[in-house]
Amino acid sequence: MAPPSPGDLRRIPSLTGSAPSIDLHDLPRDPTEMFAAWLDVALDRGVPEPVAATLATVDDDGVPDARTLIIKAVDEHGWAFAGTASSRKGQQLAACPNAALTLWWQPLVRAVRARGAVVEASRDDAAADLAARSEAARTGVDPEDWRLWRLVPSRVEFWQGSPDRRHLRIVYTRDGAGWHLDPG
Ligand SMILES: Cc1cc2nc3c(=O)[nH]c(=O)nc-3n(C[C@H](O)[C@H](O)[C@H](O)COP(=O)(O)O)c2cc1C
């Protein structure tokens, strides 16, 4: 089969979801609360698999890599995700403990993006995460190799797309112990 031409790709519609309304005068002061509020809407609207995210890391040479994984928690400790230390992501995070996460909620034309340092959670937390997985998901996993990481964000962007291309970008930037909010 021939590869798709640029014209073929241009004809494929994008940003076709239905954007919920946002009250820019009543935004949470903290991106964790904002994420909780947006996730609530995503669950309410039946967004499929809303905690599947893309995690980007870099290797020893500064070359980026990205893959899909599941976000396990978003709270005051950071944005948690899990995998094996021996994986590419595990090796890359050991060499360069910084990462970025993105989520795309197509039905809402919403995207969330976070970047920051990555810290390894305690082995107890990693063991608890592994224990919470289904038996099938635990099969073949070496518990010694299992890690839980937390991305501690320095910047979080909540992007609301609009069919008329007047997109909104709500950005939280860490500011000392608090957050600076730029509401688009
Ligand atoms: C929907 C989805 C969820 C996934 N969840 C995880 C996960 O939580 N942890 C994980 O290590 N890999 C997960 N994977 C597999 C990763 O995308 C990836 O293939 C694997 O982690 C190896 O990546 P690496 O070689 O960059 O370390 C998931 C893949 C998909 C498509």
Give me the domains of the chain, ranges plus CATH numbers: 25-183 (2.30.110.10)
What's the confidence (pLDDT) of residue 144? 96
Which ligand 1 atom is at minimum distance from the Cα of 83? 11
Q: Alpha-carbon distance 135 to 137, whole Å?
A: 5
Instruction: Note whether 150 and 159 are within 8 A (CB).
Output: no
Residue nearest to atom 4 of ligand 1 (CA): 69
Residue nearest to atom 19 of ligand 1 (CA): 67
Mutate to test the pocket of ligand 1, among 47, 59, 68, 72 (most ligand atoms within 8 A of CB): 68
Q: Is 116 left (phi over 0), alpha (psi -120 to 50) or beta?
A: left
Q: Is 88 in the pocket of ligand 1 (CB under 6 A)?
A: yes
What's the confidence (pLDDT) of residue 166? 86
Which ligand 1 atom is at minimum distance from the Cα of 89? 27
Instruction: Specify the amino acid at residue 171.
Output: V
Strands 110-120 and 146-160, sheet pairing? antiparallel
**CA end-to-end span of the chain:** 43
Q: Is 66 in the pocket of ligand 1 (CB under 6 A)?
A: no
H-only helix segments in the chain: 6-10, 31-44, 88-95, 123-132, 135-138
Residues of the chain with pLDDT under 50: none
What's the confidence (pLDDT) of residue 61? 94
Q: Is 110 in the pocket of ligand 1 (CB under 6 A)?
A: no
pTM over 0.85: yes
**Interacting residues of 116 by C-beta distance below 8 A, sequence separation 6+:** 78, 98, 99, 151, 152, 153, 154, 155, 174
